[in-house]
Amino acid sequence: MASITLSDVRKVYPGGVEAVRGVSLDIADGEMVVLVGPSGCGKSTLLRMIAGLETISAGTVAIGGRVVNELEPAARDIAMVFQNYALYPHMSVRQNLAYGLKNRGTPAAEIARRIDAAAAILEIAPFLDRRPGQLSGGQRQRVAMGRAIVREPAAFLFDEPLSNLDAKLRVQMRVEIRRLQRSLATTSVYVTHDQLEAMTLADRLVVLNGGRIEQVGTPIELYEKPATSFVAAFIGSPAMNLLPAVRNGEAVTLPGGGKVAAALGPEVATLGIRPEDLVPGRRDDAAFTAELTVAAVELVGAESYVHGTTPEGGELVFRVAGRSAIAPGEGMMVSASAEALHRFGTEGRRLG
Amino acid sequence: MSRVVFPARVLPYLLLSPQIAITAVFFYWPASQALWQSVLREDPFGLKTTFVGLANFRSVLADPNYLQSARVTVVFSVATALLAMAAALWLASAAERVVRGRGLYRTLLIWPYAVAPAVAGMLWLFMFNPAMGTFAYMLRRAGYNWDPLLDPGQAMTMVVVAAAWKQISYNFLFFVAAMQSIPRSLIEAAAIDGAGSTKRFWTIVLPLIAPTTFFLLVVNTVYAFFDTFGIIHAVTGGGPARATETLVYKVYNDGFVHLSLGSSAAQSVILMAIVILLTAIQFRFVERRVHYG
Ligand SMILES: Nc1ncnc2c1ncn2[C@@H]1O[C@H](COP(=O)(O)OP(=O)(O)OP(=O)(O)O)[C@@H](O)[C@H]1O
Ligand SMILES: [Mg+2]
């Protein structure tokens, strides 16, 4: 059990790629922090610097109050779960789990006890004598988790551990990882680019963009009050509607579509509305209204996403419960209340 | 892979024919000649040939010189294969750690493979010749009594080193490729699991490159048995006192120098049988212990 503290951590790869540009973050003991961001934003690099697999160009990483910059991965008391699982193919599952303990001189009886405990939690007991090549993807994933658990480390590091699984298994493992992390209360850093995974797993979510932190907060904070238009677009599915605002003297118009009744203020560059905040029909108290021609309706089960275009050519998505009666080609009005509007300035920063 | 079915009956044989022709001319023909020769005895002037059955084999196997040569071959082959593979493995794992100039390092290590065996032999002969070799001079200056022309052990050491040196490049190439095919994350996982670089080498890298090691073991053994004639010929000529006369060298010596063709042919037939047996044993017993990815 330990906290992890990153202070102005930077990474410049040989060749000059600045992968991480000054990240500071405090991860509390027992907390699960999820690093999320688009491909190439430096998530893996940051995680690997914590693990000790990548040198730290500047700044410090501390685990449990101890600066670990110069320590070997083995000396950092962390365990990592890799995207490709990285199980030793020539060893049985049992040997895979025992390897890290043996290397640290754990007594055989203790190794056996921990393997049995982990095998029971992860339901891998029937496969202990098989080789990784004889397991399914989901079973390998469990073994990889088991290898991390038996070590009883100060922190777990996950680098997209579920991205090689099919959708159903991914949901199942996601729930399981969450439950496991809660019950073990081990500090965890989890990297993913799947925002749904990020939202459901995180105690706190860190959105990275271009090697910098865009925003840190609980998933719900990020969802309800995205600090930047980048976070607004990244978190949530379908993504938030972002409409560029064009100043026309005193008035502000949205060439993307719609009328804005509420005063937007002069600094607003982008207006954001979540798909679930747009409701069909015109309302008198609406702060935003737009006229749409329905382009497509996606039924995803419990709800439908309606994609529409405004006469000006802007695109809007909104959400309706259940099977929608709306048909493509139909014309309709949508509106949103004042509280539902997210306003972003010219730099993409949230206003108010 | 799906099986390709040729519509014509002739085409497959046509496609195989160059390979079959080459094998026939360079293997089956000489091999059958050797088999035929091995049951004949020719007089010293080549005037009369008589059929003698297995007499050549009996005399060869009863010859103490032949048994001595077999012992020499075992020592030479085991030492050469081990040295060539161990050195190549060490160099390959060192090359993995090099960050800058990795390509250059590899290229330089591959060059010896392009050197002809006799030239390689001459190279080592010049370096270690007691009369003119630079290294021989240095060894003697260091107080070591270096004289491979008289000392059988030193002569053996010299041919083993020369023969192994020639094969290191080849082994190195295969070991490097094998090590590169190990996913980096496995090595990283082992590092996190508390294994230092030596431990990782023995417990992760070595088991994972076992298929390559096994393949090289077969290749190197066959190399040491058959392909080292040029080196031995150039470095020691089988001496001193037959101390480095391997079976292949003896075939040449008896057949082409002493012109005892029947005996020489019988020896090559035995040699052929030994190599077939050796390869079969290796595939049967060693391969079982090898884990393939
Ligand atoms: N070994 C390396 N040498 C040079 N540049 C690298 C190296 N590894 C990563 N990079 C660069 O650093 C940046 C961040 O890479 P990183 O792997 O951390 O991205 P990521 O956020 O994990 O992306 P993904 O979601 O695709 O895994 C990228 O621009 C990448 O090209
Ligand atoms: Mg990554």
- For residue range B85-104, what is the model confidence (pLDDT) as tens digits? 999 999 888 887 776 777 78
Mean pLDDT for the stretch of residues B264-277: 84
Contact A104 B194 (CB under 8 A): yes
Q: Write out the residue limits of the CATH 2.40.50.100 domain(s) in chain A.
A: 238-344
Strand A32-36 relative to strand A187-192: parallel, antiparallel, unpaired?
A: parallel
Strand A251-253 relative to strand A331-336: parallel, antiparallel, unpaired?
A: unpaired
What are the helix (H) ranges across chain A?
43-51, 93-103, 108-122, 137-150, 167-184, 195-201, 219-224, 229-234
Picking from B185, B188, B192, B200 by the largest number of A CB atoms within 10 A of its own CB, the best residue to mutate is: B192
Mean pLDDT for the stretch of residues A295-310: 90
In angstroms, the CA A96 to CA A82 distance is 14
Whether A99 and chain B come into contact, CB under 8 Å, resolves to yes
Strand A32-36 relative to strand A204-209: parallel, antiparallel, unpaired?
A: parallel
- pLDDT tens column, A115-167: 999 999 888 999 999 999 999 988 999 999 999 999 999 999 999 999 888 88
Whether A78 and chain B come into contact, CB under 8 Å, resolves to yes
The residue contributing the CA closest to ligand 1 atom 12 is: A19
Q: How far is A108 from chain B (nearest CA, A)?
A: 16
Domains of chain B: 63-256+264-289 (1.10.3720.10)
Whether B183 and chain A come into contact, CB under 8 Å, resolves to yes
User: Nearest-CA residue of chain B relative to A54?
Assistant: B188
CA of B16 to the centre of ligand 1 (A): 49
pLDDT band at B48 (very low <50, low <70, confident <90, very high): confident
- Rounded to two decimals, what is the model's pTM? 0.81
Contact between residue B233 and residue B249 where contact means Cβ atoms under 8 Å apart: yes
Strand A251-253 relative to strand A259-260: parallel, antiparallel, unpaired?
A: unpaired
Neighbouring-strand partners of residue A54: none
> For the residues of B5-58, what is the DSSP string, one character each?
--SSSHHHHHHHHHHHHHHIIIIIHHHHHHHHHTTEEE-TTS--EEE-TTHHHH
In angstroms, the CA A228 to CA A212 distance is 13
Reply yes or no: is the peptide bond before residue B240 cis, omega within 30 of 0.
Answer: yes
In angstroms, the CA A169 to CA B164 distance is 53
pLDDT of residue B82: 94
Closest CA to A85 of A172, A181, A159: A159
Is CATH 3.40.50.300 the right assignment for the domain spanning A4-233? yes
Q: Write out the residue limits of the CATH 3.40.50.300 domain(s) in chain A.
A: 4-233
Radius of gyration for chain A, computed over Cα atoms and rounded to the nearest angstrom = 24
Residues of B in Cβ contact (< 8 Å) with A79: 192
CA of A17 to the centre of ligand 1 (A): 9
- Close Cβ partners of B40 (under 8 Å, ≥ 6 residues apart): B49, B50, B51, B52, B56, B261, B262, B265
Of A39-53, A107-121, A230-244, B232-246, where does mean pLDDT reach its minimum? B232-246
CA of A20 to the centre of ligand 1 (A): 9
Residue whose tokens read 């063709």? B261
pLDDT of residue A166: 87
- pLDDT tens column, A47-82: 999 999 999 999 999 999 999 999 999 999 999 999
Contact A53 B207 (CB under 8 A): no
How big is the CA angle at B101 (ends B95 and B104), to the nearest 5 degrees? Answer: 80
Residue B289 has pLDDT above 70, yes or no: no
Helix (H) or strand (E) holding B266, with range, is: helix B261-281
Picking from B193, B206, B289 by the largest number of A CB atoms within 10 A of its own CB, the best residue to mutate is: B193
Q: Write down the mean pLDDT value for chain B.
A: 82
Radius of gyration for chain B, computed over Cα atoms and rounded to the nearest angstrom = 23
CA of A68 to the centre of ligand 2 (A): 22
Contact between residue A183 and residue A190 where contact means Cβ atoms under 8 Å apart: no
Of B30-34, B73-77, B102-106, where does mean pLDDT reach its minimum? B102-106
In angstroms, the CA A319 to CA B57 distance is 92
pLDDT of residue B53: 74
CA dihedral B91, B96, B99, B103 (to 10 degrees): 70
Residues of A in Cβ contact (< 8 Å) with B196: 74
Which whole-number Å values give the CA distances from A8 to A58, A263, B157, B210, in the listed order? 7, 39, 59, 44
Single-letter amino acid code for the residue at A22: G
CA of B258 to the centre of ligand 2 (A): 71
In angstroms, the CA A205 to CA A193 distance is 12
Nearest ligand to the C-alpha atom of residue A159: 2
Residue B116 has pLDDT above 80, yes or no: no
Nearest ligand to the C-alpha atom of residue B184: 1
CB atoms inside a 10 Å sphere around CB B98: 12
Write out residues with Cβ below 6 Å of ligand 1: A 13, 15, 17, 19, 37, 39-45, 193
Residue B2 has pLDDT above 60, yes or no: no
- Close Cβ partners of A268 (under 8 Å, ≥ 6 residues apart): A245, A252, A343, A344, A345, A351
Crossing angle between the packed helical segments B152-180 and B102-110, to the nearest 10 degrees: 140
Neighbouring-strand partners of residue A318: A306
Is CATH 3.40.50.1010 the right assignment for the domain spanning A238-344? no
pLDDT of residue B169: 87
Closest CA to A51 of A222, A239, A236, A191: A191
pLDDT of residue B287: 62
Who among B192, B199, B203 is closest to A80 (CB)? B192
Who among B183, B193, B293 is closest to A84 (CB)? B183
Contact between residue B186 and residue B204 where contact means Cβ atoms under 8 Å apart: yes
In angstroms, the CA B161 to CA A275 distance is 76
User: Nearest-CA residue of chain B relative to A83?
Assistant: B185
Mean pLDDT for the stretch of residues B202-229: 87
Residue whose tokens read 């969450």? A178
In angstroms, the CA A279 to CA A287 distance is 12
Q: How far is A135 from chain B (nearest CA, A)?
A: 14
Single-letter amino acid code for the residue at A322: G
Strand A251-253 relative to strand A66-67: parallel, antiparallel, unpaired?
A: unpaired
Helix (H) or strand (E) holding B197, with range, is: helix B197-200
Whether B101 and chain A come into contact, CB under 8 Å, resolves to no
